[in-house]
Chains A and B, each alone.
Chain A
C-alpha cells in the first residue's frame, strides 16, 4: 500500500530524516512514535506531499507519490492535521462538503446526489449530523476535530494520515475518535504521543529516533522495557491490559529509598490480626477484599463465627474494615472461623528478611484430588490463611512461584499431620476456603524466581510448613479443650 524506501530529508543544513524505509499494508492501523524532534512530523509531511521528496522513494498504491495529480492524490490519501484550521462563518456541513472537491470537475463542477450521500454519511459517521448547520466557531475542540475527520472521510480515501489526532481531546473524545477510525477499516497512518494508546489501537508501530528507524513491528514485539528506554530515554515497566490481549507500559517516575529498619508491625485484637507495613507492599492474594494483584499497606485476618452467613460477604467485609478505620483501597482483608489467638508467626533473615503468619482450621479439610466425589458446593469458613511477607523485589513469575511453593508446603504439612477429608476419607490437601497472601516490598534484592529449589523458595517452604503444622496443632489443642 505505502512503500517508503530510503527516504532522507534535510531542512537547510539540518538532516532530519536518515534513510527511512518501511511498508504499510492495506487495512493496517500503523503508528509512528518517537520523542520530539525525531522526524515524525516531517515524515508525515512527506507522505501528505506537503514537503517535496528530496531523497529516496515513496510509492503509494503502486505508483510513485509525485506522479499523482493533486486531485488524484486527494482521492487516495486524506490528512487530518494536528491543528485544525477553522474558518469563521462556515457551517459544519460546508466544511465537510469541501472533502468532495477532488471528485468534481474543474470547469463544470456539478454537485451530485452521490456527493450529498457521502457527505451525510461522513457526518453521521462522526456523529455530527445533528450539528451540520452549526457554525464551526461554535463547536468544541473535539467536535472541530471530528468535523475535520468527516471532511477527510468525505474524500473517500484509502489511507488516512493523522498527526497526533487526539491532541487537545478529553479521554472520552479520544477513544470515540479512535474507535471510529478502527471501525472504518481504512488504512491509517498516525503519529502518537501516548505509547499505550498506540499499543491499544495500532497493528504495527514504527519507532523513530533522531530521524532514524529504531524498530518496526507489532506492539507486542516493540513494547519491551529496554526498547522503550532506548527510544524515549525513560524508565518504564511493561504489563498487560486487564481485558484485552495488549501490552501496556507504565512509567517509573522515581525510586524510593529502601527502608532498612522495621518493615511490618503486627497487632493482635480479640477478633482480628492486623499486619501493617511501613511502605506499600505489592501483593498477590486470593483474599476476599483486595484479591489479585495490588499494592497494600494493611493486612487483616478477621475472625467470624462458624455460622457466619452473608449474601455479600465482600461488601460486609469492606464495611467492617471501614468501621475499624482502614482504607479498603490499601487493605487486603480475609476471614477465618479459627480462634485468632492461635495465629502462628515466624520470621527469618536468610536469604532475605521475611515473615510468615498462619491461622489454621481444618474443619472443612478437602482432598483436592478427590473433591469431585463430594456433593457439597457451598464453602463455609474454616480456613488455613497464610501470610508471607518478603523484603525483596519479586518478578511476576516469582510471585506465582512463591504462591506455588507456599501451597505445596501447606499441603505437605497437612499430609504429615494426617488431616483427613471427612467425606472422602482421604488425606486432605487444604480446606475449602484457604487463602494465601504473598506480599513483597519490591525493594532490595531482585528475585526472578521463587520456586521450591531457589534459595528464597527453600526458606519460604520450610517456614510455611512449620508454621502450618504448629497452627494445626494449636487448632487441635483448642478443639480438645472445648470438647
Chain B
C-alpha cells in the first residue's frame, strides 16, 4: 500500500513537534481575549530570560497564570492518555482498548470522588493524596478487567473487552451517582468535572500531575521493545526471552499511573487513547519505536485543540472537553468495532 503524501508528511518528529507547538500557541492565543503570537513569544521570553517586554501586564498575566497552565495541562493529559491507550492496545492486542473504553478511567474517577467525598487527606501523601488514590483505583480496576476478561474467554476476543468496559463504566457510574446523591450540593460540581475539563486548574494541578506523568512515560518509553513483542502475543514474547509477567506488570503500572493521574487532574476525558494511537498507526505503522513518541506529540496537540474548541464553540460558556473528544472518538470507536467484527466473520 503506497503511503499518501499526508502520511509521509506527518510521519516525522519535526512535523509532529511543529504541530504540537502551533497547537500550544493557538491554545494560548485563542479565547475571550485574543492574544497575538508575538505577545505570547515576548512574554515567554520575558519570564524565562527576563528580556524587556511591551506586553501589558494584564495580558501577560492572562498568558502566564491562566492560559499557559491550561494548555500545558491539556497537552500533558492528552499525551498521557494517548500513551496509556497505546500501551493497553499493545498489551491486549486490541485496537478498541483505551483507558476510557475498558473502564479504567471510571475506576480512577471513583477514586477521585471518594477523596472528595470523604475529604480524604493522607498526611504522608499530602496533596498527592488525590492522584495516588486515583492511580490505585485505576490499577485495581485494570487488574480486575484483565482477570475478568481472562475468566470470561481464554482467547480474549475483541468484543469481550468492550463488554467488560460497559459493565465497568455502568457500575462505577452508579457508584459515583450514589455518592453525589448522598453528598447533596457540594459534589454537584463533580459532575461537570467528570465530563472532563482542564479549565481553571492553574499551575498547582500541573505540578500535581507532572511527577506521575514523568514516571509513567518513562515506564512506557523504556518498554518499547517489550510492547512490540507483546503485539505478537504473549507466547511470542516469551519465546524471544521477554520476562512476560514482570514486563507486563511494569507496563500496566505505567499505564495506570498515567491514566489515574490524568483523571485526578482533569476528570474522565474519553477516547483520546483510542483516536490518537489509531491515527498515528495509520501514519507510522505499528512499531512502538515510532508509535509511542508520535502518539505523545499528537495526543498532546489534539487535546489542546479540543480544549480550544470546547471553550470557543459556545462562548462565553464552556463545554466540557470530554464532549468534544467523545464526539470525535465515539464514531471512530464504532467504526473500529465494526471493522474488527467484519474481519472476524469474514
Taking Cβ atoms with an 8 Å cutoff, the residues of A that contact B are: 48-50, 69-75, 78-79, 81, 85-91, 94-95, 98-99, 101-102, 104, 107, 109, 135, 138, 151-152, 155
Contact = CB atoms under 8 A, between A and B. Distances in A.
A279 B238 CA distance: 58
A79 B239 contact: yes
A138 B285 CA distance: 14
B93 A87 contact: yes
Nearest to A152: B239
B285 to A, nearest CB: 5
B242 to A, nearest CB: 6
B232 A50 contact: no
B235 A85 contact: yes
Contacts of A91: 285, 287
Contact of B238 (A70, A135, A138): A70
Contacts of B242: 70, 101
A432 to B, nearest CB: 66
Contacts of B240: 74, 78, 98-99, 101-102, 151, 155
Given A85-B232, A98-B228, A107-B222, A70 B241 contact: yes
Nearest to B223: A106
B324 interface: no
A89 B225 contact: no
Given A89-B285, A90-B287, A102 B241 contact: yes
Interface string B240-254: 111110000000000
Contact of B239 (A72, A74, A89, A109): A74
30 contacts: A70-B238, A70-B242, A70-B243, A73-B241, A74-B239, A74-B240, A74-B241, A78-B240, A81-B235, A85-B232, A85-B236, A87-B93, A87-B231, A88-B286, A89-B287, A90-B231, A90-B287, A91-B287, A94-B228, A94-B285, A95-B232, A98-B228, A99-B240, A101-B225, A101-B240, A135-B285, A138-B1, A152-B239, A155-B240, A155-B241
Interface in B86-100: 93
Contacts of A138: 1
Given A87-B93, A94-B228, A71 B286 contact: no
Nearest to A106: B222
A52 to B, nearest CB: 12
Given A94-B287, A101-B225, A135-B1, A87 B232 contact: yes
A50 B238 contact: yes
B1 A109 contact: no
Contacts of A99: 240
Contacts of A74: 239-241
A109 B229 CA distance: 15
A75 B241 contact: yes
B235 A98 contact: no
Nearest to A103: B241
Interface string B211-244: 0000000000010010011011101101111111
Contacts of B235: 50, 81, 85
Contacts of B228: 90, 94, 98
A20 to B, nearest CB: 22
Contacts of A78: 239-240
B70 interface: no
Among B232, B241, B281, the most chain A Cβ lie within 10 Å of the Cβ of B241
Contacts, number: 76
Interface in B43-74: none
Contact of A98 (B93, B222, B232): B232
A138 B93 CA distance: 19
Among B235, B236, B239, the most chain A Cβ lie within 10 Å of the Cβ of B239
A69 B244 CA distance: 12
Given A98-B229, A138-B1, 19 more contacts: A50-B235, A74-B239, A74-B240, A75-B241, A78-B240, A79-B239, A81-B235, A85-B233, A88-B286, A89-B286, A89-B287, A90-B231, A90-B286, A94-B228, A94-B287, A95-B232, A135-B1, A135-B285, A155-B240
Q: Which 10 A-B pairs have the closest CB atoms?
A: A89-B286, A74-B241, A102-B241, A85-B233, A71-B241, A87-B231, A79-B239, A101-B240, A70-B241, A70-B243
Nearest to B224: A109
Contacts of A73: 241
A323 B281 CA distance: 67
Contacts of B1: 135, 138
Contacts of A109: 225
Nearest to B244: A70
Nearest to B284: A89
A107 B225 CA distance: 11
Interface string B286-300: 110000000000000
Contacts of B236: 81, 85, 98
A421 B237 CA distance: 80
Contacts of B241: 70-75, 101-102, 155
A104 B225 contact: yes
B239 A48 contact: yes
A92 to B, nearest CB: 12
A89 B229 contact: no
B239 A87 contact: no
A156 to B, nearest CB: 12
B332 to A, nearest CB: 17
Given A104-B225, A107-B222, A135-B1, A86 B232 contact: yes
Contacts of B233: 85, 87
B94 to A, nearest CB: 12
A69 B246 CA distance: 12
A99 to B, nearest CB: 6
A367 B231 CA distance: 78
A48 B243 CA distance: 14
A74 B244 CA distance: 13
Contacts of B244: 70
Nearest to A90: B286
Nearest to B286: A89
A78 B229 CA distance: 14
Contacts of A69: 243
Nearest to A94: B287
Nearest to A80: B239
Interface string B93-122: 100000000000000000000000000000
A101 to B, nearest CB: 5
A296 B184 CA distance: 98
Interface string B320-343: 000000000000000000000000
Nearest to B236: A85
Contacts of A49: 238
A146 B231 CA distance: 19
A183 B52 CA distance: 75
A87 B225 contact: no
A206 B135 CA distance: 53
A198 B46 CA distance: 78
